[in-house]
Structure 1
């Protein structure tokens, strides 16, 4: 009899504990729902909506909506409709724009460390770049952006840059000489093309197509996915696969917007950003080969021989040395050491 009473009591206690746990869980879910407000957030970028970055942006917007139960909405503004990359960077720092993504070379305008990622011929593959930007060095650099009014939410993939122009194929370093080439408004790109004998012309991305069409410039450099989505093949004849610089795209949020959010909302943003980063990279890598095949139908595409690529590397080594110092000797050494470790482990 005593055993039966003891067993019944234990069941009652377990039921009570379970009930309390369920009530606690329900209360926690309710509290979290209360912590998520109705918000409409804006995400502006310079590339086309059908570019992999646009795909990643849509994945992010969808994930935020799903995780917030539809309370938080992200509206996308592709094709530089709200302004150029420098204007978007200024806007998120000022709190008048919530999200943007742009090349590391442009982010280096507010934090010179990011210039390390734009060193010519730094990475041999996208996987090397991902390992560095997702590792301790990249994570610390993204965290450091908070000093500049920006929350770093990961680095997306734009890919390896290649050269297009309307004059001639680029098969060796000397072929670059004399060409007017649009470059990102970043010192490393200006010095890179100057060293190769070109006439670099800094220009925002939204202006490039028109300048190529009017022959105000001869060419430009971008990953093949950008060349395809921006329809540069309509105004350029030659594509040379130089893969001279890898470009990552930091995904950034206004710290002012972030500071106004609850922990529950921040968790939604971070989780959605991680999902979008992985999705964007997957699409971007798959797109590269497809884009080259597609561009071969309308452009004259040439590979650059390993021997000539080695000559290109040698010619721009002074640029690498200079901007490694500019980015900071400590961060440059960290990246070099980590790359050496990754390559030794293969």
Structure 2
């Protein structure tokens, strides 16, 4: 089939790659280059964050974990595997997505920082998004996927000349398919210089101000915020200061680390990820794949496999 993928974030690029590998003729069109998408701002720690439904998300996340783990011997992909811990102020049970990770253990009481009553530790893929998105774009182009930069305003336009469209527009689905259930969730992060930190740390006890420290090869991502219905992409100095203070308290090793930059992204949240196929007014097949919340990286390759199945079933 001839397929047009709309959107060049991690989900769109993963779908384009898998569709091409499955033998379809693929082209990709997007309003924003990968380095300008929300995906590029992500701390990109594998973690099923703000995404439902539980059963499907667990399956998509497990598959993506497997795919990313298979890239560990490829430095050009920007993927590493890092052990870290999530900390809780009160005792807690295992997360609903526990089956998606190979191992999940409790942090021993002696290993908990002051103020925390429980913790989980596990190894998770961490993706340097600048490197990975560039690798994905190069990969799809090398396989013959045509790439065009431009905004698609109507599905009928996207369907012109192709058999199927894959809608990976994220927050753009509000306009493209008039999905008013989409909600922007503003995330601001601070990028600091790597100073030898290897383990990630996460504290989500304040839902509006999740605190996380995620090391990469050359940088460390400090976050963050989760501000619903806030579409301000400007960096807020007072928010950056609060992030630095919280992260330094959680992981003293990052205190005083040289600041390299500030980023803001809008997570494409939805009551549930939309991954389904529909016939569009007799003009062709549309497969929707958007609404991944804060888990676009975590679900990307798993969702791409389902997209390929839905397209191939109609071939």
Common fold by TM > 0.5: no
TM (normalized to structure 1)?
0.23
Question: Which structure is higher in strand share?
Answer: 2
Question: Which structure is higher in helix share?
Answer: 1
